[in-house]
């Protein structure tokens, strides 16, 4: 694992293998570990997975900018430091929001995009009211104090395609073991309903310029079938594999299917829109 100096902080990066480049971009409450089994299934590729600031093995300073824009700036600097060219990007959760500006600014350095249970617009409905509370000073303190994302939301959003064992859960809890490790996760509930992500929604159609695929955990109670339907309306060329029993963390729950989507995109296979995997 590399520790890159990025914008004054140390950013942890997995960069292994040779061949066509695949860049994996996680959301919350996750880290590059989420993509470990997908990377193992792509041995003939250069696989790059970044731990965003405040996540995984990267620095977790209390005073840092953990907004979407802050993550966008550091992601761009990291891609440039790694000299990423002609890559397939696998985007999950907030990863699409973090990566999109760099992708649009460097279209010639993108070979295609694989979306996995992600949104590029504000959360709405009842969940919005919950997030609005966690965006308050008290809410952020509670989020940090009780490790709400990793301890409770992660198992809630995990499906039944493969079980969330205590050992697997421990790997996601480890980077957030103390309240001082949780500033990044506590900042993102407010970002999920912010004007920043609302502005990004207007740029989503620009993804149509690249080959697109999606692997979607249909048992995700947070970013599920309704969000997938919206992506399909925005991106008419999107090729989708629906994994019926997988939840929010589909790259960890069904890594072979995500790896196959990367390979199919590279091969130019069209696949069958609406393919379902039990």
Contact 175, 32 (CB under 8 A): no
269 falls in which pLDDT band (50, 70, 90)?
A: low
Q: Quote the pLDDT of residue 2.
A: 95
**Half-sphere exposure at residue 32, Cβ-oriented, CA atoms within 13 angstroms:** 24
- Count of domains in the chain? 1
126 falls in which pLDDT band (50, 70, 90)?
A: confident
Distance between CA atoms of 32 and 52, rounded to whole angstroms?
Answer: 9
In this structure, what token pair is assigned to residue 87?
Answer: 């890559």
Burial (0-12, 13-18, 19+ Cβ within 10 Å), 14: buried
Reduced 3-state DSSP string for the chain: CEEEEECCEEEEEEEECCCCEEEEECCCCCCHHHHHHHHHCCCCCEEEEECCCCCCCCCCCCCCCCCHHHHHHHHHHHHHHCCCCCEEEEEECCHHHHHHHHHHHCHHHEEEEEEECCCCCCCCCHHHHHHHHHCCHHHHHHHHHHCHHHHHHHHHHCCCCCCCCHHHHHHHHHHHCCHHHCHHHHHHHHHCCCHHHHHHHCCHHHHHHCCEEEEEECCCCCCCHHHHHHHHHHCCCCEEEEECCCCCCHHHHCHHHHHHHHHHHHHCCCCCCCEEEC
275 falls in which pLDDT band (50, 70, 90)?
A: low
In this structure, what token pair is assigned to residue 27?
Answer: 């959301």
Q: Quote the pLDDT of residue 273.
A: 44
Which conformational region is residue 70 in: left (phi greater than 0), alpha (psi within -120 to 50 degrees), or beta? alpha
The model carries a pTM of 0.95
Give bridge partners of residue 216 from the DSSP assignment.
242
Query: What is the pLDDT of the chain when averaged over all its residues?
Result: 95
Q: Above 80 in pLDDT, residue 36? A: yes
Give the domain CATH number at 203: 3.40.50.1820
Structural domain including 161 reads 2-277
Distance between CA atoms of 7 and 178, rounded to whole angstroms?
Answer: 24
């Amino acid at each position: 694992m590399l520790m890159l100096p990025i914008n004054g902080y140390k950013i942890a990066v997995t960069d292994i293998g040779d061949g066509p480049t695949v860049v994996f971009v996680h959301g919350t409450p996750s880290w590059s570990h989420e993509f470990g089994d997908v990377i193992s299934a792509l041995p003939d590729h250069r696989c790059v997975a970044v731990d965003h600031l405040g996540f995984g093995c990267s620095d977790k300073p209390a005073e840092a900018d953990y907004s979407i824009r802050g993550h966008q700036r550091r992601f761009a600097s990291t891609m440039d430091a790694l000299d990423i060219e002609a890559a397939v990007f696998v985007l999950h959760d907030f990863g699409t929001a973090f990566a999109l500006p760099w992708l649009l600014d460097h279209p010639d350095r993108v070979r295609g995009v694989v979306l996995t249970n992600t949104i590029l617009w504000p959360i709405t409905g009842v969940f919005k009211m919950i997030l609005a509370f966690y965006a308050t000073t008290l809410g952020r303190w509670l989020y940090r104090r009780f490790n709400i994302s990793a301890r409770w939301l992660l198992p809630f959003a995990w499906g039944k395609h493969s079980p969330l064992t205590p050992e697997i859960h421990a790997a996601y809890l480890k980077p957030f073991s103390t309240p001082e490790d949780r500033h990044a996760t506590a900042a993102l509930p407010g970002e999920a309903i912010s004007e920043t992500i609302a502005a990004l929604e207007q740029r989503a159609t620009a993804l149509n310029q690249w080959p697109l695929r999606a692997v979607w955990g249909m048992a995700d109670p947070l970013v599920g079938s309704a969000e997938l339907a919206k992506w399909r309306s925005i991106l008419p060329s999107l090729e989708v594999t629906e994994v019926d029993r997988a939840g929010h963390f589909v790259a960890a729950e069904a890594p072979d299917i995500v790896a196959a989507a990367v390979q199919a995109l590279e091969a130019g296979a069209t696949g069958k829109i609406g393919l379902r995997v039990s």
